[in-house]
Chains A and B, each alone.
Chain A
Amino acid sequence: MSTIGYENWAVDLANVGAVYPFQGWEVLMVIIGVLFWLGWHRIQYVRESEHLEKARKMGDKERVEKALDRY
Chain B
Amino acid sequence: MDGNLNALTTVFTEFYYWVTVVFMFLIHVGFCMYEVGASRRRNHMHTLMKNVMLIPLVTVTFFFFGWWIYWAFPSFPFFGGLNSEMGDPNLPWSPTMGTNLGDRITGVFWAAFLLFSWTAASIVSGSVIERIRSSALWLHAVMIGSVWWIIDAAWGWHYAGWMVEKLGYHDAYASGVIHAIAGGYALGVIMVLGPRIGKFAPDGTPRDIPPHNPWMLAIGIFLIYTGFWGFYAACNVPIISPEGIGGQITGVTWTATNIYLAPTTLSAITFNFLMSLSGGLMAAYIVSKGDVFWTFSGGLAGIITASAGNDLYHPIQAMLIGAVGVVIVYNLHYWVERRFKLDDAVGAVAVHGYAGVVGLIISGFVLWGAPSSPFEGYAAINPIGQTVGAVIMFFVLGFLPGWGLAKLQSMAGALRIPEEVELQGLDYAEHHAYEEAKAEVTAANKAYLAAR
A residues neighboring B (CB under 8 Å): 13-14, 16-20, 23, 26-27, 29-30, 33-34, 37, 40-41, 44-45, 48, 51-59, 63-64, 67-68, 70-71
Contact = CB atoms under 8 A, between A and B. Distances in A.
B431 A67 contact: yes
Contacts of B94: 26
Interface of A is mostly: helix
B445 to A, nearest CB: 25
A13 B100 CA distance: 11
Nearest to A51: B429
A19 B93 contact: no
B99 A56 contact: no
B79 interface: no
B133 A64 contact: no
A52 B135 CA distance: 12
18 contacts: A14-B1, A17-B102, A18-B98, A20-B98, A23-B95, A26-B92, A37-B64, A44-B138, A45-B414, A54-B429, A56-B420, A56-B421, A59-B423, A64-B420, A67-B424, A68-B423, A70-B40, A70-B42
A30 B418 CA distance: 37
B428 A58 contact: yes
Interface in B267-305: none
Interface of B: 1, 40-42, 57, 60-61, 63-64, 92-96, 98-103, 133-135, 138-139, 212, 414, 417-418, 420-421, 423-425, 428-429, 431-432
A67 B42 contact: yes
B418 A52 contact: yes
Contact of B424 (A18, A30, A64): A64
A27 B102 contact: no
Given A17-B100, A20-B98, A71-B40, A52 B60 contact: no
Contact of A55 (B135, B212, B424): B424
